[in-house]
Structure 1
């Protein structure tokens, strides 16, 4: 019978789980969920929860977990197909007609589960026998307790090429080959894949063994000759890119903690579990795949990648970040925890204990932080070319994001950081302080004296209405061609609030993309990108009468006026960039005069004051000239 995952999901979606369970168990509403005393173990206080939205039940006492089908099989005792048929009838759905090929595949998988279960029992028995002594010594040296050994099903594959076939002689050789236990070579008898190795079973979400990882033991020469870890090959049961190690234990644990930790390998996962971190999984010899990320998101909205502190681990983290970006969606992302250089999670636990690992996890950074930190570390920003390369790399990541809203937020966030760093390294760089209040002034006699207050810098009454920064941005909206001439200076402009900073950043991005420097095209794109309100406000507010901030002064037919407007825009932009630097220097020299008065400091202060007055007068002149027209 061809019961596709899509059909089963549709069946679950048509059912109300609390109603099904409520027929045999008393349930009570508890916020968005329902609660009950668990029917799978005796309890007096309800720890059994039912979530109709997500379609699952879970007991925080005994760990029972499942959906409507699982409820029918585990609680009602029905077979899988009987459960499906009963639920389909209730949901008004027809069960798909029998498919002989699908039935044959299902039978084949069932038989392979039997093979894997029998092999796992044999490996576990070997670990406790005479041949397993060396493996037991290794586990003892690693500090892995007997309880953890039993929980994770450690075993041992003795050295030899024909052991598994003899031990599992009830199964045909082709089944052992298909399960990945035997290697078949043309013209030779099949032989054991795992020989002289500590065996670690890999289980599916239902706890069934589907594959193994084998850690080599024995002589040093052999360890140098063969791979340290050997995984089962892909089989009908096992696909390493679609499987997470320890998912059977981590799924229940993560529902209690609301967290999921992703480490590099299964020995790391086992070490964390022994230290109390049971909400942990690991990929299987590959970088985290898109499918594994999707599996992790079903357990936690923001899984934490805690990979080794060496270069390989950090590169693996970046590969995971790049794979996550195209598939992120609202509320779901990744976090990244940085281990100390050269340490893996097990090393950190051994050296500093669980508290140190908790600190590392609590200091994890977001996906956007990881992208930014990685790309910034690759750049020196010493030349315009290197700055452009960083910007291109950041935008390359943004372009991979399929979700348009998230892509927009990433673009704004990364560009804010980019322009902040570029400004700090620009020749126009200046301190960020924008305070205009002075606590000192010169007396009429030229002596330095304190005053209780002094007026903030006000360039003119027109600046009070709109502000130089707003005027400059409105000028670029009216004359987009000026972007190509003054982009570097615009990059250094301190916009003084987030809204204007984002608009400035987008104008620079628009320029870098080679978009048409046409006013109508620019304003149309700004509306599409969410800047319509701020751009309209700036264009309407023409109270500051600069030549470049008034529509009636600018037109292609009035080339002379247009040229003058561009020259005025350049000058006001230069002043707007330089002013905060002058103000910050004035404050610093003011403090210096207050603490250690000197002729040099006095002369420096007077020079800066003169520059400030000149800026103020020039702004007033440009505004008055435009107003008089």
Structure 2
């Protein structure tokens, strides 16, 4: 497992855009400086989930969910801490720290990406030089712009095309094999894996070249040939076209999953640029989660034949754990004998858009398929239907969706079902609202959490703060926040909050950090705000010095002046002199 240092984690958070990350999953609306939505972690009708672009943190004023980009991914996507950090690092283009004793280090993988880039450059030149391959793409309706956008190439028939050009040394030939570009026969001879095929380069979400797909032009089987599993290519974790579809997905808030590489390219040419495809395998859990990370709504597009129905059935059976609040999964069946490529080329993009509007909820498709398998008019088959339906619905991650479909199933089977509203997720006991004005230290903590960069905080006489602990409970929290700030220089709000270990304390601090300062009477003017912080620091210092003097005075009353040091006596006299001067 890679070891993530605090410095690396800070860099990951610095390079991440929390608003964009959350908005891709939970649509946000801007109100004032912050963004708001109904909380994805509990049920509510009025938005109480707030996201700060400045501080790069979120907080729900309803259920107290809180955190930064790492915490959000862990909670929303149900990722482990290393998985969340890795995902954010990849999206930010950051290389991960080297693995300690397990798996290949990042530096050993980079040459494989580079070897694929060199191979693709050769394949692209070979396409320019081969009229037959260009003619094949032309007959399939692939335009020159799409050839460039998707970096299409051609693998000549020669068995050692790559080896001759890229395999001049033993290390070069080792890289060709490790990247999945060549194979070895039993007699030890090496040959190119891709021969006499159109080449479709496959990039991951970060845009790194990880594998290739090759399509025969004469119908020779296998029609499609993909890279084998390699250290950088795992077909269950890759989606073809995702790199090119990022902008279309972001713009529409939807992702369209189709079956073939040419389907993706044809749809992009037609302006439907949010299409992706599975990479040489049936849709799996990792790929489905990968798409949901990019878009809150997915449309699965299948051919309208028995094979398409079977593929849809398998896909829908994967769905329940992925259908968390705010996510939509729909299924679209095309007319018999059509695929997206043939439909768009034959009838135009308008016809495909019209079909997209008919896409249906995945769970509806599942229940209809289940009804085809079991006649619910017959009691024993109805029991089997109920068993399977309830088993799938039990896996649903969204409690509201689960309740709605449980009611649907009960109605289908003529059953009466008691309504038991699902409990809110992560609901914490409500805390009583504090009455009265916040104390000086409450105010100081709020300002410190929101404006930790203010230079005045360095002027707090931290050594005297313990004398305020007994009189003001907020003093301990303020002192702790100040200690964190002093231990690590140049901390911003989310950097300070990320160093809180106690969950209850973290929730309280996130609430303070997300409370609009304007609502607390603080000026929006930066100069006036800095002046208020300086005044707050001065008042804290005066109060803590006074408490220190009272402590010394009590010690003198009990043990006499002889028990005090010279500095303590001088401090006591200075404080009493100030008191006399203030009274006069």
Task: Tell me which interval the TM-score lies in, with the shorter structure as reference length.
Answer: 0.5 to 0.7
**Could you tell me which residue of structure 2 aligns to residue 251 of structure 1?**
246
Residue 343 and residue 399 in structure 1: after superposition, are their counterparts in 2 closer, same or farther (change >3 A)? same
Residues 6-27 of structure 1, C-alpha deviation per residue, up to 9 Å, x if partnerless?
99677645788599xxxxxxxx
**Could you tell me which residue of structure 2 aligns to residue 210 of structure 1?**
210
Give the TM-score of the pair, scaled to structure 1: 0.53
Residue 8 and residue 234 in structure 1: after superposition, are their counterparts in 2 closer, same or farther (change >3 A)? farther
**Distance (Å, rounded) in 2 between the aligned partners of 1:387 and 1:71:** 48
Instruction: Give the CA deviation at 1:173.
Output: 1.2
**Distance (Å, rounded) in 2 between the aligned partners of 1:309 and 1:363:** 13
**Distance (Å, rounded) in 2 between the aligned partners of 1:399 and 1:172:** 52
Q: Does 1:182 align with 2:182?
A: yes
**Could you tell me which residue of structure 2 aligns to residue 228 of structure 1?**
223
**Distance (Å, rounded) in 2 between the aligned partners of 1:15 and 1:276:** 31
**Residue in structure 2 matching 1:342, options 323, 332, 337:** 337
Show structure 2 runs of 5+ residues with no match: 20-28, 36-52, 59-67, 71-86, 424-584
Q: Does 1:260 align with 2:255?
A: yes
Instruction: Give the CA deviation at 1:195.
Output: 0.8
**Could you tell me which residue of structure 2 aligns to residue 505 of structure 1?**
417
Residue 71 and residue 206 in structure 1: after superposition, are their counterparts in 2 closer, same or farther (change >3 A)? closer
**Could you tell me which residue of structure 1 aligns to residue 197 of structure 2?**
197
**Distance (Å, rounded) in 1 between the aligned partners of 2:334 and 2:5:** 39
- The higher-RCO structure (CA 8 Å, 6+ apart) is 2
Instruction: Give the CA deviation at 1:253.
Output: 1.4
**Distance (Å, rounded) in 1 between the aligned partners of 2:10 and 2:405:** 34
**Distance (Å, rounded) in 1 between the aligned partners of 2:245 and 2:390:** 36
**Could you tell me which residue of structure 2 aligns to residue 393 of structure 1?**
388
Give the TM-score of the pair, scaled to structure 2: 0.57
Instruction: Give the CA deviation at 1:69.
Output: 7.2
**Distance (Å, rounded) in 2 between the aligned partners of 1:216 and 1:50:** 52
**Distance (Å, rounded) in 2 between the aligned partners of 1:165 and 1:153:** 21
**Structure 2 counterparts to residues 351-500 of structure 1, below 5 A:** 351-401=346-396, 406-419=401-414, 491=415
8 A Cα contact 1:34 1:51, kept in partner: no
Moved more, 380-389 or 290-299: 380-389
**Could you tell me which residue of structure 1 aligns to residue 125 of structure 2?**
125
Instruction: Give the CA deviation at 1:330.
Output: 1.4
8 A Cα contact 2:198 2:215, kept in partner: yes
**Distance (Å, rounded) in 1 between the aligned partners of 2:296 and 2:380:** 38
Structure whose alpha-carbon radius of gyration is higher: 1
Residue 160 and residue 15 in structure 1: after superposition, are their counterparts in 2 closer, same or farther (change >3 A)? closer
**Distance (Å, rounded) in 2 between the aligned partners of 1:172 and 1:288:** 34
State the aligned residue count.
370
8 A Cα contact 1:245 1:284, kept in partner: yes
**Could you tell me which residue of structure 2 aligns to residue 308 of structure 1?**
303
Instruction: Give the CA deviation at 1:307.
Output: 1.5
Residue 338 and residue 409 in structure 1: after superposition, are their counterparts in 2 closer, same or farther (change >3 A)? same
**Distance (Å, rounded) in 1 between the aligned partners of 2:212 and 2:240:** 10
Moved more, 168-177 or 204-213: 168-177
**Could you tell me which residue of structure 1 aligns to residue 430 of structure 2?**
none
Show structure 1 runs of 5+ residues with no match: 20-28, 36-48, 57-66, 74-79, 85-95, 420-490, 492-503, 507-525, 531-629
**Residue in structure 1 matching 2:133, options 132, 135, 143:** 135
Instruction: Give the CA deviation at 1:247.
Output: 0.7
8 A Cα contact 2:91 2:205, kept in partner: no
8 A Cα contact 1:415 1:505, kept in partner: yes
Instruction: Give the CA deviation at 1:152.
Output: 0.6
8 A Cα contact 1:203 1:245, kept in partner: yes
Other structure's SS at 1:282 match: strand
Other structure's SS at 2:232 match: coil
**Distance (Å, rounded) in 2 between the aligned partners of 1:275 and 1:112:** 34
